[in-house]
Amino acid sequence: MNNKFNIIKISGFKGLIVAAFVVCCLFAGFLMFPGWVCMHLWNFTAGFFEQMPSMTMVHGILLWCIIALSLYALNKGNFSISIGHSVPLPRNDERIKEIIRQINERNAKILSSENIFEDKGENSDKNNENNDKIVK
């Protein structure tokens, strides 16, 4: 079984309503609002020129799509959309071993400083020092 895919389960009428809400929000956020902004910017600019036509909402959405797709096409692969799992970072075993060594050194310093403040008359468990070390 391939574990890279995320499955979204929609059950019942409530699930359909939530799915429709999500689709409407994505449509409004990525198309309607930028289209509305493009329409108003175009119409504001058109007010300074005599023969420039004004736009409706449909034209603003089309202008936004042209701008967005042009930027995507001209970006030469530097822009990517990823849905799902992120790319795992390469393992660097030497770095991991170094971090574990530093943690063990800090634990040893903490334990040695605690031993200084212990009362000499009490029996302390010396075997606990080995239990605090991280072993890979």
- What local confidence, expressed as pLDDT, does residue 116 receive? 65
Neighbours of 108 (CB within 10 A): 13
Summarize pLDDT for 112-136 with one digit per residue, the tens.
Answer: 777 766 545 455 455 555 555 566 5
**Do 20 and 69 sit in the same domain of this protein?**
yes
Asked if the structure places residue 86 within a domain, the reply is: no
CB 99 within 8 A of CB 77: no
**Is 82 part of any domain?**
no
**Residues 67 and 97 occupy one common structural domain:** no
Tokens 């080995």, residue? Answer: 130
- Taking phi over 0 as left and psi of -120 to 50 as alpha, with beta for the rest, 16 belongs to alpha
Higher-pLDDT residue of 93, 39 = 39
**9-23, 77-91, 101-115: which has the minimum mean pLDDT?**
77-91
In a domain, 46, yes or no: yes
Range of the domain at 28: 12-74
114 lies in a domain?
Answer: yes
Domain contains 115:
yes
Per residue in 1-53, pLDDT (tens digit) is: 556 666 777 788 888 898 899 999 999 999 999 999 999 999 999 999 988 89
Is residue 1 assigned to a domain?
A: no
In a domain, 97, yes or no: yes
Q: How many beta carbons lie within 10 A of that of residue 109, not counting itself?
A: 10
User: Quick check: 31 and 57 in contact, CB under 8 A?
Assistant: no
Amino acid at 113: S
Residue 65 lies in a domain: yes
> How many angstroms separate the CA atoms of 134 and 136, rounded?
7
Q: How many domains is the chain built from?
A: 2
Q: What is the pTM of this model?
A: 0.49
Give yes or no for a contact between 59 and 40, defined as CB atoms under 8 angstroms apart: no
Nearest CA to 37 out of 7, 15, 59 is that of 59
Average pLDDT over residues 62-82: 81
Q: Check pLDDT > 70 for residue 81.
A: no
